[in-house]
Amino acid sequence: MQLSREELLHAYRQMRTIRAFEDRVHEEFQAGNIPGFVHLYAGEEACAVGFCIHLKEGDYIASTHRGHGHCIAKGCDVRAMMAEIFGKKSGLCGGKGGSMHIADLERGMMGANGIVGGGPPLVCGAALTAKTLKTGGVAIAFVGDGGSNQGTTLESYNLAKVWNLPAIFVIEDNGYAESTASSWAVAGSQVGRAAGFGMPGYEVDGHDFFAVYAIAREVVERARMGGGPSLVHVRFARYYGHFEGDAMTYRGKDEVPRLMAERDCLKLFRERVLEAALLDAAELDRIDHEVAELIDRATAEAKAAPMPTEADLLTDVYVSYS
């Protein structure tokens, strides 16, 4: 499978941006600068980027509580995202949403979601809009392994299939829902569930950007061509706790360091493109450097930005209220 140089550079930049963003949010949370519930996507970058790279303007995604990566991959403004997480008025949602509700409908990002299983029905709706208005658009629901057990998710498979919607269900299996293992909580298999609803189902190593990319291309194309929904079971690992502050005592002793050493999506990407001489190291280093600068700037700006004020408290409850 041939990715253009531009695509390769874009993919690497996006994955690196997500990683750097999450690492920084982690630090700032530890330092007590970020309040609330924060769930980080570090380790899972290849999935969001591998799918969203196939999306165009007019396509939609619905995310989960672990939504920063999907946001960045769908093209949301990183500086406004950081400001949002700091609760600032210049944030992507004016400081009203925070990490768990970060969203940008103009970019086709229907929101991180505080409700596990909240996204899949919304994606059926976005896919219905695309189908009805004949936009050629598709919609992707990112769903955790835990979220895959929610009734709303399973009902959405059925609805997407019987309405033949351009919808894609991406099951992001990081092994855990909070502290509970997906190997325990998920009866049957994700691919078997897809088969049960008459949908094509795939399983893929989510640390391998290229593997995700290939399957994503196939399912997005199918949806776009009117071929209906598909499900992709992506396996990977999260590096940080369920939320910031989680001591992760339920995980194996060397689990995370081992995964970071052996299956890190950024390292694997770098090795692969250097080995095949698709890009050179200096280009990748430059991206790392530029991303680090961007995140520094975004963080400094977010810290300096003003908080919303009393005048903002009651705005935007409705479009109009009379």
Partner 1 sequence: MPKKTYRQAINEALRQEMERDPRVILMGEDVAGGMGSPGEDDAWGGPLGVTKGLMPRFGRERVLDTPITESAFIGAAVGAAVTGLRPVAELMFVDFFGVCFDQIFNQAAKFRYMFGGKARTPLVIRTMYGAGFRAASQHSQCLYSIFTHIPGLKVVLPSNAYEAKGLLIQAIRDDDPVIFFEHKAMYDEEAEVPDEPYTIPFGEANVTREGGDATIIAMGRMVNFANQVADELAKENIGVTVVDIRTTSPLDKETILETAAETGRVVVVDESHPRCSVATDIAALVAQEAFEHLEAPVKMVTAPHAPVPFSPALEDLYIPSPARIRRAVQEVLAFGR
Which neighbouring-strand residues pair with 144? 172
Residue closer to ligand TPP (CB basis): 8 or 171: 171
Residue 217 structure tokens: 């291309």
44 is a site residue for Mg ion (CB under 5 A): no
- Report what 98 binds from ligand TPP, partner 1, Mg ion, none; CB cut-off 5-8 Å by kind: partner 1
First to last CA, the chain: 56
Instruction: Please choose, from the candidates 322, 309, 301, 243, the residue with its C-alpha nearest in 3D space to the C-alpha of residue 96.
Output: 309
185 is a site residue for partner 1 (CB under 8 A): yes
Pure H helices in 133-264: 151-162, 182-185, 190-196, 209-224, 255-262
Task: Find the part of the chain contacting partner 1 (CB under 8 A) among 14-22, 171-179, 203-211, 288-296.
Answer: 171-179
Which neighbouring-strand residues pair with 61? 109, 140
State in angstroms the smallest separation of the CB of 88 from partner 1: 7
299 is a site residue for ligand TPP (CB under 6 A): no
| Run of H or E residues at 170 | strand 167-173
Residue 270 structure tokens: 């770098």
User: 202: helix, coil or strand?
Assistant: strand
State in angstroms the smallest separation of the CB of 144 from ligand TPP: 2
CA dihedral 77→11→115→130, nearest 10 degrees, is 80
Q: How far is residue 224 from each of residues 35, 55, 255, measured CA to CA in Å?
A: 40, 10, 39
151 is a site residue for partner 1 (CB under 8 A): yes
State in angstroms the smallest separation of the CB of 251 from Mg ion: 12
145 is a site residue for Mg ion (CB under 5 A): yes
Q: Considering CB under 6 A, how many residues would be counted as binding ligand TPP? A: 17
313 exposed, middle or buried (CB, 10 Å; 0-12, 13-18, 19+)?
exposed
Residue 292 structure tokens: 């680090």
Residue with the CB atom nearest Mg ion in the bound state: 144
Residue 300 structure tokens: 């400094």
Instruction: Please choose, from the candidates 299, 40, 165, 53, the residue with its C-alpha nearest in 3D space to the C-alpha of residue 156.
Output: 165
Site string for ligand TPP, 107-126 (x = CB under 6 A): -------xxxx---------
Of the candidates 3, 47, 62, 116, which one interacts with partner 1 according to CB under 8 A? 116
Residue 213 structure tokens: 């990319």
Measured distance CA(101)–CA(80) in Å, rounded: 13
- Report what 17 binds from Mg ion, partner 1, ligand TPP, none; CB cut-off 5-8 Å by kind: none
Measured distance CA(220)–CA(173) in Å, rounded: 20
Task: Find the part of the chain contacting partner 1 (CB under 8 A) among 39-47, 158-166, 196-204, 249-257.
Answer: 249-257
314 is a site residue for partner 1 (CB under 8 A): yes
Of the candidates 98, 146, 166, 206, which one interacts with ligand TPP according to CB under 6 A? 146
Instruction: Please choose, from the candidates 150, 137, 159, 175, the residue with its C-alpha nearest in 3D space to the C-alpha of residue 61.
Output: 137
- Report what 66 binds from ligand TPP, partner 1, Mg ion, none; CB cut-off 5-8 Å by kind: ligand TPP
156 is a site residue for partner 1 (CB under 8 A): no
Task: Find the part of the chain contacting ligand TPP (CB under 6 A) among 173-181, 195-203, 214-222, 269-277.
Answer: 173-181
State the residues that interact with ligand TPP by CB under 6 A.
39, 64-66, 114-117, 144-147, 174, 176-178, 242
State the residues that interact with partner 1 by CB under 8 A.
35-37, 87-89, 91, 93, 95-98, 100-101, 113-117, 146-147, 149-152, 176-186, 248-253, 255, 307-310, 312-314, 317
State the residues that interact with Mg ion by CB under 5 A.
144-145, 174, 177
